[in-house]
Amino acid sequence: MLVSEREQLRGNIEAWVEQYGSNRSALIPVLEEVQRKYSHISEYVMQVVADILDIHPVEVSGVVSFYSFLGRKPKGRFIIRLCRTISCEMQGKDRVARQLENDLGILFGETTADGNFTLEWANCLGMCDQGPALLVNERIYTQVTPETVHDILEECRRTFGVYAPQLTEEYA
């Protein structure tokens, strides 16, 4: 990472701490902002956040590893989370999963080589009456069929650009 990028990253983190308050209770909101903007939380970020909030970096990494929406591994611009819980299972989530894997050429847990898509499982998304359901970043899709998977991916490629996280570090 370039020095200027590091400075920018630090500046962003300082601004978020300003916004959420410089105490421990601000930790998760700050990490959520980092995750949204950079799609992962690096060792460097954990160190900076720990410094600013005056806690041990191990505490920060303990929090990052606990929550499934936070992580240290870089992910794609679009994180697709397909619900695997019972009501979506009964509505055919396995076929949707298969089609996602086919169209993206990756398995669940993986990221496409171009850094665009990550495929993950989610537990119940609260759309059980309209399954199968999946989230693309923060957007929800319901009644997904193997056929509409393609449209969803195309929509990502076309319209999500502006909302997509910035990829620095490993993927830049």
Partner 1 sequence: MKTTDTSKMTFAQVESQRGLESALKMQPDEVRRTIADSGLKGRGGAGFPTSTKWNFAAETVGDLKYVVCNADEGEPGTFKDRVILTDFSDLVFEGMTIGGHAIGASKGIVYLRGEYTYLRQLLEGKLEERRRTGLLGKNVLGTSGFDFDIEIRMGAGAYVCGEETALIESLEGQRGEPRNRPPFPVNTGFMGRPTIVNNVETFAWVTCILVKGSKWFEKIGTETSHGLKLFSVSGDCRASGVFEFPLGITIKELLKKVGGENAKAVQVGGAAGHCVPASEFGRAIAFEDLSTGGSIIVFGPGRDMLHVAQNFMEFFKDESCGQCTPCREGNARLLEGIEMLEQGNCSMKYLRDLCRLGETMQLASKCGLGQSSPNAFLSIVEHFKDEIMGRIPAAC
Binding interface with partner 1 (CB under 8 A)? 23-29, 31-32, 62-63, 66-70, 84-87, 89-90, 122-131, 135, 138-140, 142
Looking at the Cβ atoms of 50 and 128, the one nearer to ligand FES is: 128
Radius of gyration of the chain (CA): 17
From candidates 12, 61, 87, 112, binder to ligand FES by CB under 6 A: 87
Q: Hey, which residues does 97 pair with through a beta bridge?
A: none
Q: Distance (Å, rounded) from C-alpha 15 to C-alpha 46?
A: 15
Q: Distance (Å, rounded) from C-alpha 138 to C-alpha 136?
A: 6
Looking at the Cβ atoms of 19 and 166, the one nearer to partner 1 is: 19
Stretch that binds ligand FES, among 7-15, 24-32, 85-93, 110-118 (CB under 6 A): 85-93
Closest CA to 77 of 120, 114, 125, 29: 114
Cβ atoms within 10 Å of 154's Cβ, excluding its own: 11
Looking at the Cβ atoms of 6 and 33, the one nearer to partner 1 is: 33
Stretch that binds ligand FES, among 2-10, 22-30, 123-131, 156-164 (CB under 6 A): 123-131
For the chain, the first-to-last Cα distance in angstroms comes to 9
- With binding defined as CB under 6 A, does residue 144 bind ligand FES? no
